[in-house]
Structure 1
């Protein structure tokens, strides 16, 4: 079974889950931690997630900022658990790709998915797209 934890500063994790629900309906496999929105310590929730990953499960923890405090807490808890992977610097497309990837999750499959996610991040030249679309019904991405 695939299990996903999204842990971020503020409410970004809940925003990711909300968007995934809207776009795919696949939010049932997702837990979230919205860190620093109150005085609670989220360390126990990370530990409980890691402990819930059995030998037939794949667990992926997404954090928002590489080297940030949430990333650091996960990095202290997740090591030593062979079916738990930690990806930092996530985006919505990456989470969706991992959520719906077929088969078991491996380090290699995650690395390939991360490379794909990196390739989809593009600076959209608004001047170029504006002039190209004037008076046409062409697809924006053609």
Structure 2
């Protein structure tokens, strides 16, 4: 059975990462997004998140969030502390999501946290070091 990835964020970042990912990788039926909008409370976000995860077996779900300590992360962290079996990773970026999708496509585990870290590059410094 395929794993499900739920992207959560402040504002529409999760929607944007999903859309950008699909531009590169094609449609992704196992990637979902839940966004905390400015007019919403933590309770509103929790309801949206609960509605999304209710569609899946939690053993098959991983959640990437934008920011450790932010409301989306805190809402899901409270669920984990309450006993829910949710795998949550903070610091989401596009290389991380693409790495997760690639791993799912080829059927192996991947270090998507490492991919997220490697995706952060000071291009000016990289270019300056190319000639050395």
Change (3 A) 1:76 1:132: closer
Going from structure 1 to structure 2, the CA distance change for 1:43 and 1:19 (only over 3 Å counts) comes to same
**Structure 1, 37-46 or 14-23: larger mean CA deviation:** 37-46
State the TM-score, normalizing by the size of structure 1: 0.72
**After TM superposition, which residue ranges in structure 1, 4 or more long, deviate above 6 angstroms?**
130-133
Q: Could you tell me which residue of structure 2 aligns to residue 138 of structure 1?
A: none
Classify the secondary structure of the residue corresponding to 2:123.
Answer: coil
Equivalent positions of 1:30-109 (< 5 A) are 30-39=31-40, 41-54=44-57, 58-78=60-80, 80-82=83-85, 84-102=86-104, 103=107, 109=109
Structure number with the higher helix fraction is: 2
| Alignment map for 1:121-140 (pairs within 5 Å) | 121-125=120-124, 129=127
User: Is the 1:10–1:35 contact (alpha carbons within 8 Å) kept by the matching residues of 2?
Assistant: yes
Give per-residue Cα distances to partners, 1:61-110, cap 9 Å, x unaligned.
1110111111000111245344x311111110101111231447xxxx46
The equivalent residue for 2:118 is 119
Residues in 1 aligned to 2:45 and 2:99: alpha-carbon distance in whole angstroms: 26
TM normalised by structure 2 equals 0.77
Q: Contact 2:97–2:112 (CA<8 Å) still a contact in 1?
A: no
Count of matched residue positions in the alignment of Structure 1 and Structure 2: 125
Superposed CA RMSD in Å reads 2.7
- Structure 1 alignment gaps of length 5 or more: 134-142
**Structure 1 residues 3, 129: closer, same or farther in 2, change over 3 A?**
same
